Structure 1
Amino acid sequence: MNAERIGEVAQLLARPRLSGPPTPAAPADLAAATVADGYAIQRALHAVLEAAGHGRCSGHKIGCTTPVMQAYLGIDHPCAGEVFAATVFESGAEVPLQRFHRVGVECEIAARLGSDLPARDGGHDRDSVAAAVESLMAGIELVDDRYVDYTALPAPVLIADDFFNAGVVLGVPVTDWRGLDLVAIEGVMTIDGDEAGRGTGADILGHPFNALAWLADHRAAVGTPLRAGEFVMLGSVVKTVWIEHAATVTARFEGLGEASVSFV
């Protein structure tokens, strides 16, 4: 895909994120787009959104790291996106529903990096990335169905648009996480106090840090390695829940506390 077409698609995807109507079905030429095309469009889209006032990208998300989400979206591999500083909320935030087209919530572990993760001979593994993790926290990813029909869009187009990301809610950082069993750790999401789903760390590629290792290798390969101070959302342990009315959502992980957000 040439630079001109990449720019055109980036503008198309930017419109619903800048108060425009939902993204329509993808043009025919995007059906053959590659994953590499998707990430190239993503970079162009970020430039458009930054210029429009979204701020810098301060964190990352990984989509499709769990069986429940791979089955839900019909995509069998992880997908990376970035999170803009203007869309990062602290636990307890109130967020207007009208900020979104149709907001969804996901229950995730977030990792904050204390050191860089440059390219590593032979690639990263969960032990190598663990050394860079300063803290872990409960998190809620905010996703937005800003499409006429997202099921009609190929995976590269979803990648280009940060894989539905519309923000995150982060709980209190836990720095003494190393004694936790991150495979067995259980996450539970509730909506107005009623359970909406649960899962364990094992659901995230077998171990949450396997997802982080995948992202570290991906970012290093494209020349923008993960940096100290950034956070990474490691993938949802529950299927996306779409919020239609005012509600309070809580994600809780054993040993990591909780994150909550109220939609008003």
Structure 2
Amino acid sequence: MNETEIEKAASFLSQSRLGGPRTSLLPEELVPQTETEGYAIQAALHEILALAGYGNLVGHKIGCTTEVMQKFLNIDHPCAGEIFRSMVFLGEANIQLSRFHRIGVECEIAARLGQDMLGEKGPYTRESAAAAVGSLMGAIELVDDRYENYALLNAPTLIADDFFNAGVVLGAEEINWQELNLGAIDGVLYINNCEHSRGVGSDILGHPLEALAWLANHRAGLGRPLRAGTFVMLGSVVETVFFDSPAEVSVLLEGVGEARVKFV
């Protein structure tokens, strides 16, 4: 794709995020065919959203890090997106359903970085990625089904639009997490105070910090390394749950923390 096509595709995708109707299929000539093209459109889309008032980029998301989500979306590898400051809620949130096309939630661990991940010593591993983590948080990813039929979209197109991301709710930061066996912790999603679904940390690429290592290596390869102070959503341990009516949602990540959101 050339620069003009990338900008046109980004403009097309921005409409559903700026008050327009659900996104239909991109015109054939604007459909990204590779992940490289998808990430190029994503970068152009971020410029549009920043100018529209979304604020600075302050965090990252990793999609499709678990078998359940890979099966759900029929994609067999992780994908990355970014999160704007205006899309971040702390602790708990009250959110109007009318702000979204069709809101959904995921149960996640978020990692706040205590140092840059420049990749100067070679590819990151789970162990070396752990050294960069300043704190962990229980978190809810807010996702928006802003497509007429997402099943018809290829992976590069989903990448271009930040893989459904519509915001996050971050719980309190846990700085004494180092003794936790993150691969064994339970993550539970509650709806209206009743357990709906649960997963385990090892569902995320075998260990949650494998996801962080993947993203750090991906970003270093792009020449845009992860920076201290930003946070990373490491992936959902449960299948996405969508809502069409008011509900109260909470997640509990064993030893890490919790987060809450009320849809009204």
TM range (shorter): over 0.9
What is residue 33 of structure 2 aligned with on the other side? 33
What is residue 94 of structure 1 aligned with on the other side? 94
Contact 1:65–1:236 under 8 Å retained in 2: yes
- What is the deviation of 1:257? 1.9
- What is the deviation of 1:32? 5.9
How many equivalent pairs are there?
264
Contact 1:135–1:174 under 8 Å retained in 2: yes
1:138-153 pair list within 5 angstroms = 138-153=138-153
What is residue 126 of structure 1 aligned with on the other side? 126
- Alpha-carbon deviations, 1:175-198, whole Å to 9, x = none? 000111101000000110122210
- What is the deviation of 1:134? 0.4
**What letter corresponds to residue 176 of structure 1 in structure 2?**
N
Q: Runs of 5+ in structure 1 lacking a partner?
A: none
Distance in 2 separating the partners of 1:38 and 1:160: 5
SS at match of 2:142: strand
- What is the deviation of 1:125? 0.4
What is residue 198 of structure 1 aligned with on the other side? 198
How high is the sequence identity, in percent, across the aligned residues? 59
1:57-96 pair list within 5 angstroms = 57-96=57-96
What is residue 56 of structure 1 aligned with on the other side? 56
SS at match of 1:178: coil
SS at match of 1:177: coil
Distance in 1 separating the partners of 2:103 and 2:262: 12
Distance in 2 separating the partners of 1:171 and 1:25: 36
Contact 1:30–1:157 under 8 Å retained in 2: no
- What is the deviation of 1:35? 0.4
1:1-264 pair list within 5 angstroms = 1-30=1-30, 33-264=33-264
SS at match of 2:178: helix
- What is the deviation of 1:30? 4.8
- What is the deviation of 1:242? 0.1
Distance in 2 separating the partners of 1:29 and 1:206: 38
Q: Runs of 5+ in structure 2 lacking a partner?
A: none
**What letter corresponds to residue 51 of structure 2 in structure 1?**
A
Contact 2:65–2:205 under 8 Å retained in 1: yes
- When the two structures are superposed, what TM-score results if normalisation uses the length of structure 2? 0.98
Q: Any runs of at least 4 consecutive aligned residues in structure 1 with deviations exceeding 3 A, and if so which?
A: 29-32
- What is the deviation of 1:105? 0.1
- Alpha-carbon deviations, 1:100-139, whole Å to 9, x = none? 1000000000000010000244410011110010000100
Question: Greater shift after overlay, 158-167 or 30-39?
Answer: 30-39
Distance in 1 separating the partners of 2:31 and 2:52: 28
**What letter corresponds to residue 89 of structure 1 in structure 2?**
F
SS at match of 2:218: helix
Question: Greater shift after overlay, 167-176 or 22-31?
Answer: 22-31
Distance in 2 separating the partners of 1:25 and 1:151: 11
- What is the deviation of 1:27? 2.2
- When the two structures are superposed, what TM-score results if normalisation uses the length of structure 1? 0.98
Distance in 2 separating the partners of 1:245 and 1:31: 33
**What letter corresponds to residue 106 of structure 1 in structure 2?**
E
- What is the deviation of 1:243? 1.1
Distance in 1 separating the partners of 2:96 and 2:84: 18
Distance in 1 separating the partners of 2:10 and 2:28: 16
RMSD: 0.9
SS at match of 2:49: helix
Contact 2:32–2:157 under 8 Å retained in 1: no
- What is the deviation of 1:29? 3.2
